[in-house]
A and B are shown apart, each in its own frame.
Chain A
Amino acid sequence: MNATMDTLSDVVGSTAADVASRSDTMDGLNIRNFGGTVGEITVANPRMRTRSVDVYYGDKHAIKNVSLDIGSNEVIAMIGPSGCGKSTFLRCLNRMNDTVEGCRVTGQIMLDSKDIYDKHMDPVVLRAQVGMVFQKPNPFPKSIYDNVAYGPKIHGIAATRAELDDIVESSLRRAGLWDEVKDRMDQPGTGLSGGQQQRLCIARAIAVSPEVILMDEPCSALDPIATAKIEELIDELRQNYTICIVTHSMQQAARVSQRTAYFHLGDLIEVGETTQIFTNPRHKLTEDYITGRFG
Chain B
Amino acid sequence: MSNGTPSSAGPPRRRVLDAVTGSLSRRYASERRFRLLGRIAVLSGLVFVGSLFLSIILNGYSGFFQTYVKLPVAFEQEALDPEGKRDRAALATADYGALVKKSLQAAFPDVSGRSELRELYGLVSSGAEYQLLDMVEADPSVIGTTRDVWLITSDDFDMLYKGRIDRDVPESDRRVSDRVLGWLDALEKQGAIETRFNWSFFTNGDSREPELAGIGGAVMGSFYTLLVCLVIAFPIGVAAAVYLEEFAPKNRLTDLIEVNINNLAAVPSIVFGLLGLAVLINFFGMPRSAPVVGGLVLALMVLPTIIIAGRASLKSVPPSIREAALGVGASKMQTVFHHVLPLAMPGMMTGMIIGMAHALGETAPLLMIGMVAFVVDVPRGFFDPSTLLPVQIYLWADSPERAFVEKTAAAIIVLLAFLITMNALAVFLRRRFERRW
Given contact pairs A140-B324, A201-B324, A127 touches B329 in the complex (Cβ within 8 A): yes
Given contact pairs A101-B250, A127-B329, A96 touches B324 in the complex (Cβ within 8 A): no
- Can you name the residue of chain A whose Cβ is closest to the Cβ of B334? A154
**Stretch from A45-53, A130-138, A161-169, A263-271 contacting the other chain:** A130-138
Given contact pairs A134-B320, A154-B330, A140 touches B325 in the complex (Cβ within 8 A): yes
Give Cα A94–Cα B326 distance, bound, in whole angstroms.
10
Q: Provide the residues of chain A in CB contact with B320, threshold 8 Å.
A: 134, 136, 138
A138 touches B330 (CB 8 A): no
B327 touches A131 (CB 8 A): yes
Chain B binding surface, main DSSP class? helix
B166 within 8 A of A: no
Give Cα A22–Cα B267 distance, bound, in whole angstroms.
61
Residue from B327, B343, B437 within 8 A of A94 (CB atoms): B327
Which residues between 114 and 145 of chain A lie within 8 Å of chain B, taking CB atoms? Answer: 123-128, 131-134, 136, 138-141
A139 touches B324 (CB 8 A): yes
Chain A binding surface, main DSSP class? helix
Give Cα A201–Cα B338 distance, bound, in whole angstroms.
17
- Can you name the residue of chain B whose Cβ is closest to the Cβ of A102? B250
A150 within 8 A of B: yes
A128 touches B343 (CB 8 A): no
B331 within 8 A of A: yes
Which residues between 340 and 354 of chain B lie within 8 Å of chain A, taking CB atoms? Answer: 343
Given contact pairs A101-B250, A154-B334, A190-B437, A140 touches B329 in the complex (Cβ within 8 A): no
Give Cα A229–Cα B330 distance, bound, in whole angstroms.
28
Q: Provide the residues of chain A in CB contact with B250, threshold 8 Å.
A: 101
B26 within 8 A of A: no
Q: Provide the residues of chain A in CB contact with B321, threshold 8 Å.
A: 138, 140-141
- Can you name the residue of chain A whose Cβ is closest to the Cβ of B435? A141
Give Cα A105–Cα B379 distance, bound, in whole angstroms.
63
- Closest approach, in angstroms, between the C-beta of B253 and any C-beta of chain A? 15
A151 touches B324 (CB 8 A): no
Given contact pairs A138-B320, A141-B437, A205 touches B328 in the complex (Cβ within 8 A): yes
A96 touches B329 (CB 8 A): no
- Closest approach, in angstroms, between the C-beta of B316 and any C-beta of chain A? 13
Give Cα A133–Cα B334 distance, bound, in whole angstroms.
19
A205 touches B435 (CB 8 A): no
A99 touches B322 (CB 8 A): yes
Give Cα A201–Cα B435 distance, bound, in whole angstroms.
19
B331 touches A124 (CB 8 A): yes
A134 touches B329 (CB 8 A): no
A208 within 8 A of B: yes
B339 within 8 A of A: yes
Give Cα A94–Cα B330 distance, bound, in whole angstroms.
13
In this complex, the member of A127, A138, A151, A207 whose beta carbon has the largest number of chain B beta carbons within 10 angstroms is A138
B116 within 8 A of A: no
A283 within 8 A of B: no
Which residues between 50 and 99 of chain A lie within 8 Å of chain B, taking CB atoms? Answer: 94, 96, 99
A282 within 8 A of B: no
- Can you name the residue of chain B whose Cβ is closest to the Cβ of A207? B328
Q: List 7 A-B contacts (CB under 8 A).
A: A96-B323, A99-B326, A124-B331, A128-B329, A134-B327, A151-B330, A207-B328
**Lowest 6 CB-CB distances: which A-B pairs, in order?**
A151-B328, A138-B320, A128-B329, A132-B327, A127-B329, A138-B324
B: residues with CB less than 8 A from A are: 250, 318, 320-331, 334, 338-339, 343, 435-437
